Amino acid sequence: MSKRRTPSMMTTEEAQRQETYIKQIRMQNDLEKSKTSKQKHYYIATFGCQMNAHDSEKLAGMLEQMGYQKTDQENEADFILYNTCCVRENAEQKVYGKLGYLKYLKDMNKDLIIAICGCMMQQDTVLNIIKSKYPHVDIIFGTFNIYKLPELLQTYLETKETVIDIWNEHKDIVEDLPSIRKYKFKASVNIMYGCNNFCTYCIVPYVRGRERSRQPEDILNEIKELVADGVKEIMLLGQNVNSYGKTLKDGISFAQLLRKVNEIEGLKRIRFMTSHPKDLSDELILAMRDCDKVCKSLHLPFQAGSTEILKKMNRKYTKEQYLELAEKIQNTIPDIALTTDIIVGFPGENEEDFKDTLDVVRKVRFSGAYTFIYSKRTGTPAATMEGEVPEEICQRRFNELQEVLQPIVYEKSQEFYGKTVEILVEEKSKNKDSYLTGRTDSGHLVHFEGDTSLIGQFVNVEIIEAKTYYLIGKLAN
Ligand code: 5AD
Ligand code: SF4
């Protein structure tokens, strides 16, 4: 009789297997370094969402363990990795453009290793294009097996032949991957992977697979370790966090998880994304209200205002339901900052439909929004729908949307004027010397003059200027 292994046993085993490859490569790299006294460098370009950014942190963690050091100069790297996104076509075009340039780098340096991974690789059409047009790519893998990078790299080093490893579904959730955080004081934690919603425009369910939640104990332990390592702010990540727990045996809801995370001592702020309106429960709204560490900001994509279009998008809520939900949230948590995603030009969208989108924007008064022109993704149901909206009309609607949205975002930003707010200082300002940048609980960016020793700390600033997309403050201690 074969013994059934628990998933966590399998994942530890797999992580240990990769560990041996990590050690092998590390030894080779150390040996080479002692001979040539040259340090090997890696360069990672990340496209797309926070999920990809977090995957890149794990990939960087493994590369550093294998003896590579990070560089921001692509032409100095010995190992180049593109972690790709396929949500919209322009993200894909960018990758193809850059791959052309890599051919030139490879011609200059035969030892350069080029790897590509992420969502784009999960599509057969893309894989065929890479194989036929970009043969200088050495390692290709997908979204389900990023933890196998050490093994794939070792295989390439041994054979010097292109290594392709793409799975169509996840096998194990491999825990305990080393990870290099961009910030010492804030970190992302996956709570679930994949998506089951199948919004008709979206390629994500096809490239990230079915929804699966991590065990709450694994999540809580990871966060506790991060806090012990100096992390003060956590971003809980999932394509659809509101349905967290539905795939677990002893179902725990996202709201319950949030309450548990809130109890972790030493942790100061909790954020999460992304929420789907159809699954956002009263229980969660109350948990957000009650938990002092949960930031009062919520990203709640509505995508389109027209109930007809929402139906075609398979979003499973109506315009009225979204408006009611937003109102309920704003009434329960009055200082909440709501942000959203909006798509214009979905197939069949007419002027009336588009007006519904503008109407939702005016009624909800978002603090910010990511706005997109619909991009046709082969393989999704919307790709074959009738009523394609001409490009000029999409562009006009997109511009009109900005004209309605921006003054609202500006007015919301003005509400901060003259107030003193607590921010977590994140980094030196990219635009102004001697300035630092931090974020409020609501997620607003604040630039202020201060010493770099404040990075990673909470400080109070008085807001002396409020722009549409950022605030200017001065230290108020
Ligand atoms: N075209 C345009 N925007 C899209 N999004 C997802 N798929 C598409 C598409 N095919 C947007 C949605 C989603 C965000 C991450 O990207 O607004 O919430
Ligand atoms: Fe895509 Fe919809 Fe899933 Fe978001 S919820 S990842 S838009 S299918």
- Residue 401 Cα to chain centre, angstroms: 24
Q: Is 199 near ligand 2, meaning CB less than 6 Å away?
A: yes
Cα-to-centroid distance, 373 and ligand 1 (Å): 8
Residue type, 414: Q
In the chain, domain spans: 2-165, 183-295, 298-414, 420-475
Residue type, 108: M
435-440 and 212-213 beta bridge pairing:
unpaired
Cα-to-centroid distance, 104 and ligand 1 (Å): 33
Residue 388 per-residue DSSP state: P
Query: 240, 302, 380: which to mutate for ligand 2, most atoms within 8 A of CB?
Result: 240
Tell me the CATH number for domain 2-165: 3.40.50.12160
Q: Is 240 exposed, middle or buried (0-12, 13-18, 19+ CB in 10 A)?
A: buried
Ligand at minimal distance from the CA of 344 is 1
Instruction: Output the pLDDT for position 169.
Output: 72
3-state secondary structure of 404: helix
Residues with CB under 6 A from ligand 1: 87-88, 201-202, 301, 303, 341, 343, 372, 374-375, 377
Q: Please check whether residue 114 is in contact with residue 136, taking contact to mean a CB–CB distance below 8 angstroms.
A: yes
Do 2-165 and 298-414 show the same overall fold? no
Tell me the CATH number for domain 183-295: 3.30.750.210
Q: Is 351 exposed, middle or buried (0-12, 13-18, 19+ CB in 10 A)?
A: exposed
| pTM of structure | 0.89
| Phi, psi values for residue 187, rounded to 5° | -150, 155
Instruction: Output the pLDDT for position 36.
Output: 93
3-state secondary structure of 38: coil
Instruction: Output the pLDDT for position 1.
Output: 31
Q: Is 2 exposed, middle or buried (0-12, 13-18, 19+ CB in 10 A)?
A: exposed
Listed in sequence order, the DSSP H helices in 137-215 are 149-159, 204-207
Q: How far apart are CA 89 and CA 202, in angstroms?
A: 12
Residue 41 structure tokens: 């460098």
User: Atom 17 (ligand 1): residue with closest C-alpha?
Assistant: 341
Residue type, 73: Q
Residue with tokens 């408006």: 323
Instruction: Output the pLDDT for position 176.
Output: 63
Q: Is 342 near ligand 2, meaning CB less than 6 Å away?
A: no
The CATH topology of domain 420-475 is OB fold (Dihydrolipoamide Acetyltransferase, E2P) (2.40.50)
Q: Has residue 2 got a pLDDT over 60?
A: no
| Phi, psi values for residue 269, rounded to 5° | -135, 140
pLDDT, tens only, 237-246: 999 999 999 9
pLDDT, tens only, 27-50: 999 999 999 999 999 999 999 888
Q: Is 242 near ligand 2, meaning CB less than 6 Å away?
A: no
The CATH topology of domain 298-414 is Transcription Regulator spoIIAA (3.30.750)
Q: Is the dihedral of CA 339, 344, 349, 352 positive or negative?
A: positive
3-state secondary structure of 230: coil
pLDDT, tens only, 94-132: 999 999 999 999 999 999 999 999 999 988 899 999 999
Residue with tokens 């009434």: 331
